[in-house]
């Protein structure tokens, strides 16, 4: 096997491993529809998304993240960020409590009793401090959007850690941006993170994305931009699957054969 063939084989293995870090399927619950897409600019991606349900509340946690830089280094940290967020947000379902011998411990009781806003700020703080303290010399960080959605009521809390604003889209075309509530994760330890909140009315959609979407370039070098994104959101309804497919199709029609500028990830949650 030549060096080039060996490299291609290694990249294929890396791509498959990274794909396993993304959810095999998105939660299916009454009153909510989820859809997502991830298009890497290279063989592996620094972007990630996640969506999982917390027991016993039924709250759905939504995550979209973008690790700085591209390529293999970003992909390694993508796996670390995603794992830290999932483990700290869902230590019961993820097995962390069981590993320390807990069944119905004070720790577990406290975790299950935490409000969604408290949970998200703790997750952001824990992930930030772990990366900053143990891997600060690498200068790697990630912008992350976290949300905790209650499907039955449409209520949600969110933490935006230096990420592009997620957008709540209404059927009439009205939009609300969910702007940063704290810095990117991993820059410095002991950072403060605040939580915002909102409510999805019936047919409203929460749309989160990475900056590769708005920074994508046409063959002439023009950026896709926020204005085109909002036009695409208004043109494709608010059902999650339809909206994700429509935005991605609009993006591909704009970029055509241009070299990908960055990874592109989108995640949508619609109250139905």
How far apart CA 214 and CA 181 sit, in angstroms, is 21
> What is the mean predicted confidence (pLDDT) over 246-251?
98
Could you tell me the two tokens for 76?
């390694």
pLDDT of 71 over the 70 cut = yes
> What is the mean predicted confidence (pLDDT) over 4-29?
76
pTM over the 0.85 mark: yes
Residues 6+ apart with CB under 8 A from 249: none
* pLDDT attached to residue 60: 97
* pLDDT attached to residue 99: 42
> What is the mean predicted confidence (pLDDT) over 142-148?
98
Exposure of 199 in the CB half-sphere (CA atoms within 13 A): 5
> Quick one: CA torsion of 206, 209, 211, 214, rounded to 10 degrees?
-70
* pLDDT attached to residue 91: 72
* pLDDT attached to residue 114: 80
Could you tell me the two tokens for 37?
């897409």
Q: Rounded to 5 degrees, what are φ and ψ at 28?
A: -120, 115
Please report which residue ranges of 41-185 form alpha helices under DSSP H: 71-89, 96-99, 106-113, 116-135
DSSP 13-51: HHHHHHHHTS-SS---BTTEEEEEEEE-SSSS-SEEEEE
How sure is the predictor about 100, in pLDDT bands with cuts at 50, 70 and 90?
very low
Q: Look at residues 138, 147, 133 and name the one whose alpha carbon lies nearest to residue 191.
A: 133
pLDDT of 15 over the 80 cut = no
> What is the mean predicted confidence (pLDDT) over 207-225?
97
Q: What is the pLDDT of residues 76-87, one digit of tens each?
A: 899 999 999 999
Average pLDDT over all residues of the chain: 90
pLDDT of 104 over the 60 cut = no
pLDDT of 97 over the 50 cut = no
pLDDT of 231 over the 50 cut = yes
What percent of the chain stands above pLDDT 70? 88
How far apart CA 150 and CA 233 sit, in angstroms, is 23
Could you tell me the two tokens for 235?
């043109």
How far apart CA 258 and CA 251 sit, in angstroms, is 11
Structural domains of the chain in order of their starting residue, each with its CATH number:
33-271 (3.60.40.10)
* pLDDT attached to residue 95: 45
How far apart CA 185 and CA 257 sit, in angstroms, is 33
> What is the mean predicted confidence (pLDDT) over 91-114?
53
CB-based contact 131:112 (threshold 8 Å): no
Distances from the Cα of 6 to the Cαs of 2, 9, 15, 42, in angstroms?
6, 5, 14, 17
DSSP 184: P
Q: What is the pLDDT of residues 165-213, one digit of tens each?
A: 999 999 999 999 999 999 999 999 999 999 999 999 999 999 999 999 9
> What is the mean predicted confidence (pLDDT) over 6-22?
70
How sure is the predictor about 110, in pLDDT bands with cuts at 50, 70 and 90?
low
pLDDT of 13 over the 70 cut = no
Q: Which residue has the tokens 């912008």?
A: 143
């Amino acid at each position: 096997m030549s060096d080039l063939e060996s490299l291609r084989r290694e990249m294929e293995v890396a791509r498959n491993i990274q794909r396993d870090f993304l959810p095999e399927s998105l939660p299916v619950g009454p009153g909510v529809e989820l859809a997502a897409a991830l298009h890497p600019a290279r063989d592996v991606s620094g972007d990630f998304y996640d969506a999982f349900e917390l027991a016993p509340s039924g709250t759905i946690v939504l995550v979209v993240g973008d690790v700085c830089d591209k390529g293999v280094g970003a992909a390694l940290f993508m796996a670390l960020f995603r794992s830290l967020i999932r483990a700290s947000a869902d230590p019961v379902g993820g097995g962390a409590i069981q590993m320390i011998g807990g069944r119905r411990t004070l720790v577990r009781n406290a975790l299950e009793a935490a409000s969604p806003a408290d949970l998200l700020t703790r997750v952001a703080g824990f992930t930030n401090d772990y990366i900053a303290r143990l891997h600060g010399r690498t200068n790697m960080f990630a912008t992350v959007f976290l949300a905790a959605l209650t499907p039955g009521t449409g209520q949600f809390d969110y933490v935006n850690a230096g990420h592009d604003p997620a957008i709540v889209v209404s059927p009439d075309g009205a939009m609300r941006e969910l702007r940063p509530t704290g810095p990117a994760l991993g820059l410095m330890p002991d950072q403060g993170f605040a939580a915002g909140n909102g409510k999805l009315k019936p047919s409203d959609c929460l749309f989160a994305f990475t900056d590769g979407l708005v920074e994508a370039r046409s063959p002439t070098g023009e950026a896709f931009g926020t204005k085109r994104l909002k036009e695409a959101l208004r043109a494709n309804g608010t059902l999650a699957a339809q909206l994700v497919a429509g935005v991605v199709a609009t993006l591909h029609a704009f970029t055509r054969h241009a070299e990908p500028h960055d990874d592109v990830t989108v995640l949508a949650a619609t109250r139905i």
